[in-house]
Structures are given as structure tokens and as C-alpha cells.
Structure 1
Amino acid sequence: MRVVADIPNPHVKITLHSYNGKYILKLEKANLEQLYKIEETEVMGDEGAKALIDEEFIEGVLNRFQDMRDIFVSTVRRNG
């Protein structure tokens, strides 16, 4: 897997990778991560993949991270 770019963002760490005909968009916050796999044919190169990361996408990602955290905290409380 090749790192294509580290994409600056104040809320999450974003890394764009290239692997086996796909771009892999990796977003990290604290101990959680989200991966999005994009066929290279679906976007116009590295810049096309980066262009997917707009404000609305980041807002959705942050909401998903909050949901992930809440679910994990709940299971730890029930089972810890």
C-alpha cells in the first residue's frame, strides 16, 4: 500500500493510499478509524480522490465517529 497524500484537516487525520487499483481513504480520530475504498476508475487521479473530501463529507465522518464512540462506550459499560 502506497501513501499518496496526507491531507490536512483540523478534526481528523486523513491519509490517502493507493493499493491494487483502489484508492483507500483512511480517516482517524483518537482510537477509531474509518476506511473508504474507491475504484481508481471512479475518480480522476489523486486530485479526484482528494476532491471527494468536502465539508459535507467531513461532517458525516465526524458524526459517524461520534456514533462509533457512543456504541463502544455502551458495550464497555455493559460488558466491562
Structure 2
Amino acid sequence: MRFVQDIPHAQFRIGLYAWNGKYIVKIEAGPYEQTYKVSEMDLINPEAVPTMLDEAFLMQVARRFQEMDTDWQATGERNDAF
């Protein structure tokens, strides 16, 4: 996987990578990560990716991270792991 660029954001660590004919957007928050893959053929250039990460999209990403944490905590409690 080839690193293309970091995409600055105050809340998340966002990296853009290229691999196997796809651009991969990795968004990290604490112990959690969301990954989005898009074919290189679907984008004219990787500079279009930061504009796609608009406020509405990133609000959904934040909500999903919260859901991931809730799910993780719940399974830990159900299985006496925490």
C-alpha cells in the first residue's frame, strides 16, 4: 500500500493511500478505524478526495465511531471481558 497524503482534521486522523487500483481513505479515532475504498477509475485524481470528506459525511463517520464504541463495550460486558 502506497501512502498518498494526510488529510488534516481536528477530530480524526485521515490518511489517503493507493493500493491495487483503489484509493483507500482510512479514518481513525482512538482504537477504531473506518476504511473506504474507491476505484482509481472512479476519481479523476486523488485531490478530489478531501473535498468529498465534507461536514455531513464526517458527522456520519463520528456517529458510526460512537456506535462502534457502544457495540464494543456491550460485547465486553456481555462476555465478562471488561
What TM bracket, shorter-length normalisation? over 0.9
What is the match of residue 30 of structure 1? 30
Counterpart check, 1:55 vs 2:58: no
User: Is 1:17–2:8 an aligned residue pair?
Assistant: no
Unaligned runs of 5+ in 2: none
Q: Which residue of the partner structure matches residue 77 of structure 2?
A: 77
* Superposed CA RMSD: 0.8
Percent identity reads 40
Separation in 1 of the partners of 2:18 and 2:31? 23
Deviates more, 1:10-19 or 1:44-53: 44-53
Counterparts of 1:63 and 1:30, CA distance in 2: 14
One-letter code of the match for 2:72?
F
Gapped runs of 5+ residues in structure 1? none
What is the aligned residue count? 80
The 2-side partners of 1:78 and 1:14 are apart by 32
**Moved runs in structure 1, 4+ residues, more than 4 A?**
none
Aligned: 1:66 with 2:28:
no
Q: TM-score, normalised by structure 2?
A: 0.93
